Amino acid sequence: MIRFGIVQSKKEILTSHAGLALAGQLLNRKTSLRQRARKSLPGGLIDSGDVVISFVGNLLLGQPDFEAIQNRRGDKVFKTTLGLRHVPSAETQRQRLDAFPEAFRWEVEDEAVELVRRTNAPVSALPGGWVPLDIDATALDNSGTKKEGVSHTYQGFAGYLAMGAYLGREGWCLGMELRPGSQHSQNGFVPFLQRVLTRARPLVRPEQRLLVRLDSAHDGLETLVALEEQREGVDWIVKWNPRKQDLVAWWERAEKEECILPEDPKRPHKRAAWIDEIVERRWQGRTVRFRRVVRLVRREADRHGQLLLTPEIEIEGWWTSVDLPGEKVAEVYNGRGTSEQFHSEFKTDLNLERLPSGKFRTNALVLSLGVVAYNLLRLLGQKVLLGPGAPVRHPAQRRRIRTVMQELMYLAARVVRSGRRWWLRFGVHCPAFEAFARAYGWAATA
């Protein structure tokens, strides 16, 4: 086996994150993040735009902690690719993010959505023609800390709750709202819903309709009314929370209304039924009507064929404005499960589960900056890693954020300055060179 000698160059500049050259072009050409930061909080020696852009740069590398910037202070490549005048210290970055006004967080998320619009990013629809808008909450584990807002979550650990909204089959993030861990998902949900609907409309074609999909935590009357009032261009499916229901009475109703499906010969002890109904509710002195489809399953034996002493009855249902049979409503709703992967990419790929600050407001801003990094990486994945010349991977509709980081962000290159220009010189065996070169040309002129 060959034994290598270890030596450090005194002149050559090498980088392990050449992909920041792509990110820097898009951040500075297709967003106004730097300008908004300067306007919201004028800086001193260190420009506030540099503070925000440098933090997003580290997020793109999966390093959200403030101390990570210390490793970039002498990194000319980091500074040049992101267009920074100065690389701030960890203390400056922490203090400046603490000082940004609350309203800046909404501006950050607006810029993340504008990045998608200005680059004409693809927003794919479902087979039925709807563009899905999936909204869901996820718990962030911050146990063992004394951070502001950390409390007991529905997952059983201490942490935060993050409410995220994802558009299209690609999963473009339209907002990520940080909440105390003990806050119920429905609390303050309607303003968040209205905000993301406003952001979603410019991203879909006029002839397309949005399809909002929500889980049973949002089956409150307030949410249903808010969705009904957004009917122009918006359809919705909300999982029904049965709470305390008389299952036997429901099955008897199905028998009376003759809506039990024929028995499946392969499952002789299992019967299913669908009930489609209009439910009237009172809201602020008026009557509102909603469609609800309910599925009942009655089992007289377990999956091994063992007969049960008493039949088991299961019930689930959906509130919806979609004009489809009940079975299709359930099928379309089940596609919402993909949003769990998008949550996972935030928490694991971007490493944003354990937030870096002890202050709730600062952590909320960090999560919003994460939306910028997430959409930027998703954009590069769709534009670069799915086209010709991309590194060999299995066929896919979208590339996971981690894949984009591995294939593009963490590219190694030699940095050369010649003829008053900076050059990135890649190795002869670099599988991503063709895709990177094409992407850089697109980012520089997009």
Q: Are 134 and 97 in contact (CB under 8 A)?
A: no
From first to last of its 446 residues, the chain has per-residue pLDDT tens of 888 877 777 777 778 888 899 899 999 999 999 999 999 988 778 899 999 999 999 999 999 999 999 999 888 889 999 999 999 999 999 999 999 999 999 999 999 999 999 999 989 999 888 999 999 999 999 999 999 999 999 999 999 999 999 999 999 999 999 999 999 999 999 999 999 999 999 999 888 999 999 999 999 999 999 999 887 889 999 999 998 888 999 988 888 888 888 877 777 888 889 999 999 999 988 999 999 999 999 888 887 778 878 888 999 999 999 999 999 999 999 988 888 889 999 999 999 999 999 999 999 999 999 999 999 999 998 887 777 666 656 666 678 889 888 888 888 888 888 878 888 888 888 888 888 888 888 787 76
DSSP readout, 314-366?
Answer: EEEEEEE---S-HHHHHHHHHGGGGHHHHHHIIIIIS--SS-S-SSHHHHHHH
Q: Are 165 and 371 in contact (CB under 8 A)?
A: no
Cβ burial, residue 392 (10 Å; 0-12/13-18/19+): exposed
Residue 165 identity: A
Counting the structural domains of the chain, the total is 1
Q: What does DSSP say about strands 130-141 and 209-214: parallel, antiparallel, or unpaired?
A: parallel
What is the pTM (predicted TM-score) of this model?
0.92
Secondary structure class of 150 (helix, strand, coil): coil
The Cα–Cα gap between 330 and 315 comes to: 13
Is 142 part of any domain? no
Q: How far is CA 303 from the centre of its chain?
A: 37
The Cα–Cα gap between 190 and 220 comes to: 10
Range of the domain at 56: 13-93+367-445
The Cα–Cα gap between 89 and 72 comes to: 9
Q: Are 270 and 297 in contact (CB under 8 A)?
A: yes
The Cα–Cα gap between 258 and 260 comes to: 6
N- to C-terminal Cα separation, the chain: 48
Beta partners for 372?
A: none
Residue 181 identity: G
DSSP readout, 225-249?
Answer: HHHHTT-TTEEEEEEE---S--HHH
Taken as a whole, the chain contains a residue count of 446
- Nearest Cα to Cα of residue 405 among 171, 75, 115, 60: 60
Is 135 part of any domain? no
Is 58 part of any domain? yes
Is 127 part of any domain? no
Is 269 part of any domain? no
| Rg, C-alpha atoms of the chain | 26
Residue 351 identity: N
Secondary structure class of 195 (helix, strand, coil): helix
Beta partners for 34?
A: none
For residue 89, the model assigns a pLDDT of 94
Is 345 part of any domain? no
Side-chain-side CA neighbours of residue 139 (13 Å): 17
H-only helix segments in 71-150: 76-81, 90-99, 103-118
